[in-house]
Amino acid sequence: MRTLHPFTLLAVAAALPALAWILPAPGGGLATLLVALSLTLTPGASPGPAGTGISRSWRPGLVVFRTALFTAAPFWLFLLLLHDVRTTVAIGLRISTMVASFVWLAAVLAPDRLVEATVARGWSVTAAYLFAATLSAVPVLKARARRIVEAQRCRGLSPRGSVANRFRALRALALPLVLSALHEVDERTLALESRGLVSGARRTSLAPPPDRVVERVVRWGLLLLCLAALVRRLA
Amino acid sequence: MTPLALEEVTFWYPATETPALRDVALEVAAGEIVALVGKVGAGASTLLLVAADLAPRVTGGRLAGAVRRRARSGIVLPTPWTQLSGMAFTVWDEVAFGPANLGWPGHEIARHVDHALERLEIVSLAARDPVTLSGGELQRVIVAGLLAMDPDLMLLDEPTAELDPAGARSVWRLLRLLAGEGKAIVVATSELDAVPDVADQVVWLDDGAVRAIGTPQLLAEDAACDDGLGTTVARIWRAAGLAPPYPLTVADAVRRWP
Q: What is d(CA B139, CA B170) in angstroms, rounded to the nearest whole number?
A: 12
In a domain, B251, yes or no: yes
Of the pLDDT bands very low, low, confident and very high (cuts 50, 70, 90), residue A124 is: confident
Residue B233 resides in a domain: yes
A196 neighbors B149 (Cβ within 8 angstroms): yes
Question: What is the distance between the terminal CA atoms of chain A, rounded to a whole angstrom?
Answer: 36
Tell me if A56 sits within 8 A of A43, measured CB to CB: yes
Q: Domain ranges in chain A?
A: 6-110+209-234, 125-194
Judge whether B248 lies within some domain: yes
Q: pLDDT of B50-108, one tens digit each? A: 999 999 999 999 999 999 999 899 999 998 888 988 888 899 999 999 999 999 999 99
At residue A55 the predicted structure's pLDDT band, cuts being 50, 70 and 90, is very low
Note whether residue B14 is domain-resident: no
> Maximum distance among all alpha carbons in chain B?
61
Say whether B102 sits in a helix, a strand or coil.
Answer: coil
Distances (CA, A) of B39 to A182, B73, B160: 26, 25, 17
Q: What is the ipTM of this complex?
A: 0.85
Total tally of structural domains belonging to chain B = 1
B252: domain range? 215-258
Q: Provide the chain B residues 189-218 that lie in CB contact (below 8 A) with chain A.
A: none
User: pTM of the entire structure?
Assistant: 0.79
- Is the per-residue pLDDT at B193 higher than 90? yes
Residues 6+ apart with CB under 8 A from A180: A144
**Closest residue in chain A to residue B106, using alpha carbons only:** A206
Task: Tell me which residue of B29, B27, B24, B18 sits closest to B65, measured CA to CA.
Answer: B24
Query: Which among B54, B59, B73, B87 is the top mutation candidate for probing chain A, defined by the most A β-carbons within 10 Å of its own β-carbon?
Result: B87
Q: What is the dihedral of CA A133, A136, A142, A148, to 10 degrees?
A: -50
Q: Which SS3 state, helix, strand or coil, does residue B4 take?
A: strand
Please check whether residue B101 touches A, CB under 8 A.
yes
Segment B195-237, tens digit of pLDDT: 999 999 999 999 999 999 999 999 999 999 999 999 999 999 9
Give the 3-state DSSP-derived string for B128-146, with helices as H, strands as E and coil as C. Answer: CCHHHCCHHHHHHHHHHHH
| Distance of residue B132 Cα from the nearest chain A Cα, in angstroms | 9
Average confidence score pLDDT of chain B: 94
Q: Which residue has the higher pLDDT, A50 or B18?
A: B18
B125 domain residue, yes or no = no
Most B-contacting residue of A125, A135, A194, A197 (CB-CB within 10 A), to test interface:
A194
Judge contact between B197 and B203, C-beta under 8 A: no
